[in-house]
Amino acid sequence: MARQDASDLAHRLGRQAEAVCRHYLSNGQRQGNYWQVGDVRNTKGRSMFVRLKDSPKGRAGKWTDAATGEHGDLLDLIRESLGLTDFPDVTDEARSFLSLPHPEPEPAAPRRGVAPAPSGSAEAARRLFAMSQPIAGTVVETYLRRRGITLLHGTGSLRFHPRCYYRPDDGPTETWPAMVAAVTDLNGKITGAHRTWLAPDGSDKAPIDTPRKAMGDLLGAAVRLGVPGSVMAAGEGIETMLSLRQVLPEMAMAPALSAAHLAAILFPSTLRRLYIVRDDDPAGDGARDVLIERTNAEGIEAIPLSPALGDFNEDLQRLGIDALRAGIRVQLAPEDVARFITRAA
């Protein structure tokens, strides 16, 4: 779409700024010459302001989120509130809106086009992943490398979002860079997403109360690293499994994101041997025991892999890759030592 056409659409929307806000930011309210709401995704609150009339400070439709510093025009508002990723979809939605009658101050007619995805739903997870970008050259790569994870082939299920929303239990919504992982079922369909919020320089996780959160339908699903065949490994954390992959680069890995979800993970039909990567805690022991029972029932061999310390990322960082490799070698089936370890030596 031509830039002039986009500018014209934004200007036309600005002439109906309050109707736009009532339509897309229904949880807000008018305060003088502004529409006030929690954020551009229609969260209840008061930190975001949309200018409703032209003024010396700017044109109608310009908005700013005082909590995050984000700002934009009404096309940006439509994109963010609906979770749209393609600009033609945004302009189509804007044209659809402009074709509706908008008497003021009555609420606008029901939305047409793409409905907003419910917060935390599988659809919201798919849209978040689609809005993210590959991790190469981003702070996600910096973060992982600082944790000793340098082999990043086959990590298309991991992406980077520069301003991922974080909603604390109390207080305003924040935005932080994030590693976004796609959670998929056995057919490769995205059913959820996992977010790890990061410090802006990638030096560590973000300094927030809960730097990791999952969303969507997670039961039985997992993050997929590599294509599973007859042998694969499953464990809890993304960084734990990426650490194991540093010494077993050709083995498919499946981080399930928690001990409970690890215990419920579904097995590919081709699977004949499952390595259960347990964290050194009671929850990890419980997940291991449930998985051994389930694999035995399906004729799949189960072999636990245990870290020397708390988890395999701690082993990698504190003991080094050679010690990690040696510790893994003695736990593998002999045929898998030749198949996987020798390629990492």
Cβ 227 vs Cβ 298: under 8 Å: no
pLDDT band, residue 108 (cuts 50/70/90): very low
From the list 112, 73, 108, the residue with the least C-alpha distance to 89 is 112
Phi then psi dihedrals of residue 183, to 5 deg: -100, 125
Q: Residue 211's pLDDT is what?
A: 96
Name residue, tokens 């981003």: 138
Q: Is the pLDDT of residue 103 over 70?
A: no
Cβ 93 vs Cβ 82: under 8 Å: yes
What's the pTM?
A: 0.66
User: 51-55, 131-135, 316-320: which has the minimum mean pLDDT?
Assistant: 51-55
The torsion defined by the Cα of 42, 43, 44 and 49, in degrees rounded to 10, comes to: -60
Indicate the average pLDDT of the chain. 87
Phi then psi dihedrals of residue 5, to 5 deg: -65, -40
Extract the tokens encoding 133: 């970008």
Question: Taking residues 158-166, what's their average pLDDT?
Answer: 94
Chain centre to alpha carbon of residue 97: 30
Cβ 205 vs Cβ 196: under 8 Å: yes
- Which bin fits 69, alpha (ψ -120 to 50), beta or left (φ > 0)? left
Cβ 225 vs Cβ 255: under 8 Å: yes
Q: CA quadruple 65, 66, 72, 73: dihedral positive or negative?
A: positive
Tell me how crowded residue 111 is: count the other CB atoms within 10 A of its CB. Answer: 17
Topology, domain 1-99: DNA Primase; Chain A (3.90.580)
Q: Is the pLDDT of residue 155 over 50?
A: yes
Q: CA quadruple 311, 179, 130, 246: dihedral positive or negative?
A: negative
Q: Is the pLDDT of residue 170 over 80?
A: no
Show me where the domains of the chain are located: 1-99, 119-212, 219-344
Each residue's pLDDT tens digit, 29-63:
988 888 999 889 888 888 888 999 887 778 899 99
DSSP structure string for 120-152: TSHHHHHHHHHH-EE-TTSHHHHHHHHTT----
Instruction: Tell me how far apart the terminal alpha carbons of the chain are, to the nearest angstrom.
Output: 52
Beta-bridge partner residues of 139: none
All residues at 6 or more sequence positions from 67 whose CB lies less than 8 Å from its CB, including other chains: 39, 47, 48, 172, 173, 174
Share of the chain above pLDDT 90, in %: 57
Beta-bridge partner residues of 312: none
Cβ 183 vs Cβ 125: under 8 Å: yes
Instruction: Please give the CATH architecture assigned to the domain spanning 219-344.
Output: 3-Layer(aba) Sandwich (3.40)
Pairing of strands 273-277, 301-305: parallel
Q: Residue 104's pLDDT is what?
A: 43
Beta-bridge partner residues of 30: 35
Q: Residue 105's pLDDT is what?
A: 43
pLDDT band, residue 3 (cuts 50/70/90): low
Cβ 85 vs Cβ 131: under 8 Å: yes
Cβ 166 vs Cβ 174: under 8 Å: yes
Extract the tokens encoding 22: 């009532």
Q: Residue 115's pLDDT is what?
A: 55
Q: Residue 200's pLDDT is what?
A: 95
Question: Taking residues 282-310, what's their average pLDDT?
Answer: 90
Tell me how crowded residue 129 is: count the other CB atoms within 10 A of its CB. Answer: 22
